Amino acid sequence: HSKKEKMKILKISDEEKKNKQKKEKRKLDKEREELLNQKKKTEREKSMREEVLEVDNAEIEKLKAEKEEIRQLKEELLIEHEREKEMGKKKESQRQLRLELKREQEEMRLLKKELDRKRKEEEKRQQEENERIEEERIEEERRQLEETRQMIAELEEEKRRIEEEEEKKQAFELKERKRVDKIRRKQRKRNKRRTKTFPSVFDSEGYFGVLAEFEDRLVTPQFESGLKYLVLVAMASSALFIFVAPLGVEKLKFAVIHPREPGSVLGIFIANFVQNDKNLFASNLLALLQLGAIYLFTDEEPANLRDILLLAALVSGVFAFCIGSSAVPKFGGAGLITSLFSHLLLRGVLESKPLYQGVTWIMGVFLVFGLGTVVNESSYELALGGCIAGTVTSLLSSSLSKRSTASYYSSLLVDV
């Protein structure tokens, strides 16, 4: 049974192969026929193409000729177009130029209008400025007139004051002349008595004449005023020494300076006259009298000694009160002495007078040998303040000496 089935299957497969081969053969025949048809068609198309190609060559030649004509026409058209384009550009440029010209004309018109407006504004402003300047000039003239009036009033006041001062000066000179004449009459009477008693010594041609001339030079109001205040300072220092020495400065806190303590304010004015040591008191008093005498005999304005001593006492006291060491009370006459010393020392530097310069050299010797004996621990700050005061008074004296009225104003101190 299985063989039959196998045979049957093989038979079926053979039939299928045969059918397949038949189909492939028919397909090959069909393809061959199609290829033959295609070949014929190709040959036919080729022949037709050759015929068409012959026709096309003629057409191509004709087309080439037409193309060449068209190209020439195009070139001519391009040239014409370029020409028209150039003409258009020229026309456009001419139109732009006309527009620009019109715009510039419009701008010129606006500028002219603006210029006219600005010119009018400038003229108006210039007119206002001229009016303002004129008003300022008028105001300035008024002010100058007012200043002139004030100056005239001040000059009249100054003239009146000068006249009053001149009257005072004349009255003072008359009073001084009477006083000097009175003193000289007394001196003549005294000298007559001396001449009668000692005729060989006090003769009018010898010693008496020299003494009289020397006394005439010394008997001046300024010298007497300066001498008076020098003696008062010396007497005040001596009186305070006599009073303070037995008690001691510890019990007189109001009379000495305790730096930066409110209770020592009074000591600013008194501390320069307080001493508690005999040797220091003697050296201070001697130095004060020596320097005061040098000032009185050498300075042209001896009455100013009062101002120098008062300023020295005030400045040195304030200086010691403000910057002094609080550990030691400050007192002593070093401020007065260093003030006179500084004044005499700088006077010869500021004024080129032989007498003043000689005193300056003497002060240099005093600085080396004598100044250290009048300054101690309790008067160091007072001495520095006195140097400052002496420097100030020397500068003021130098500037006042250049004025013609300095001598007269200094002489007025006599009556004060």
Helices marked H in 248-304 — which ranges?
A: 267-270, 278-298
Rounded Cα–Cα distance for residues 182 and 342 (Å): 38
Q: Tell me, what's the pLDDT at 282?
A: 84
Q: How many CA atoms lie within 13 A of 306 on its CB side?
A: 17
Question: By mean pLDDT, which of 32-36, 59-63, 287-291, 397-401 is the weakest?
Answer: 397-401
Residue 125 structure tokens: 């402003």
Enter the pTM of the model. 0.48
Rounded Cα–Cα distance for residues 27 and 376 (Å): 155
> How many whole angstroms from its chain centre is CA 340?
38
Residue 341: how many other CB atoms lie within 10 Å = 24
Q: What rounded mean pLDDT belongs to the chain?
A: 77
Highest mean pLDDT among 47-51, 113-117, 207-211, 356-360: 113-117
Average pLDDT on 28-53 reads 78
Q: Which H or E element spans position 4?
A: helix 2-197
Confidence of residue 3 (pLDDT cuts 50, 70, 90): low
Cβ(389)–Cβ(339) below 8 Å: yes
Residue 149 structure tokens: 């009036």
Q: Tell me, what's the pLDDT at 202?
A: 47
pLDDT exceeds cutoff 60 at 162: yes
List pLDDT tens digits, range 28-37: 878 888 888 8
pLDDT exceeds cutoff 50 at 221: yes
Average pLDDT on 97-126 reads 88
Residue 195 structure tokens: 């001449």
Q: Tell me, what's the pLDDT at 54?
A: 72
Residues of the chain with pLDDT > 90: what percent? 0
Average pLDDT on 107-124 reads 88
In Å, what is the CA distance from 95 to each residue of 81, 89, 106?
A: 20, 9, 16
For residue 330, list its beta bridge partners.
Answer: 257
∠ at Cα 324 (321, 327), nearest 5°?
110
Confidence of residue 284 (pLDDT cuts 50, 70, 90): confident
Residue 281 structure tokens: 């008191």
Residues of the chain with pLDDT > 70: what percent? 80
pLDDT exceeds cutoff 50 at 406: no
pLDDT exceeds cutoff 50 at 404: no
